[in-house]
Amino acid sequence: MSKKEDIESKAWDLLVRVTEERGLRAVDAEYVKEGGEYYLRCFIDKEGGVMIDDCESVSRALDPMLDEDDFIPDAYTLEVSSPGLGRALKRPHDFEFASGKEVELKTFKAVSGKKEFRGILKSWTGTDVTIEGEDGEETFSRKDLSVIRLAFEFE
């Protein structure tokens, strides 16, 4: 496991604990370096949407736990937010949440002349994703997907 994966895994465990105590749902924890600065980004959700008070509550609870466990060797900024409308699906619970909903897929290489697909998420496994699109049911290998996310349209 890489340093990044280890940090994300440990942060995820803490995030799950904090969100469950507050009736929220942990969505993701990612550790990234941007412009020479490190960020631990924690994404949370709840039915009806996340409010700023939810993010603040999780941040205030999570921050001392991260300091106590001290598993992040770099100086970093903690950010807690909603994953947003077009969030990427990564973890099993993301796929459970998106089951039966419209998703967008992007492939690394063209499939039948296209790299972008849209349809209803029918099923998923550790290796495959199946959607019901305009052309019927299509199954994609997860290793061939650059991203899969909830679809949304502006009205």
Q: How confident is the model at residue 97 (pLDDT cuts 50, 70, 90)?
A: confident
pLDDT beyond 70 at 155: no
> Over the chain, what is the mean pLDDT?
91
Q: Collapsing DSSP states into helix, strand and coil, what is residue 36?
A: coil
What is the CATH number assigned to the segment(s) 3-81? 3.30.300.70
pLDDT (tens digit, 9 = 90+) per residue, 48-66?
889 999 999 999 999 999 9
The matching CATH number, chosen from 3.40.630.30, 2.30.110.10, 3.90.700.10, 2.30.30.180, for 92-150 is 2.30.30.180
| C-alpha distance from residue 62 to each of 1, 70, 124 (Å) | 23, 12, 31
Domain ranges, ordered by start, for the chain: 3-81, 92-150
- Structure letter (DSSP) for residue 59: H
Among 38-42, 94-98, 143-147, the range scoring the smallest mean pLDDT is: 94-98
pLDDT mean over 2-29: 95
Which residues, listed in sequence order, are joined to residue 137 by a DSSP beta bridge? Answer: 132
Tokens 């897929």 correspond to: 105
pLDDT beyond 70 at 154: no
Encoded tokens for 20: 């469950």
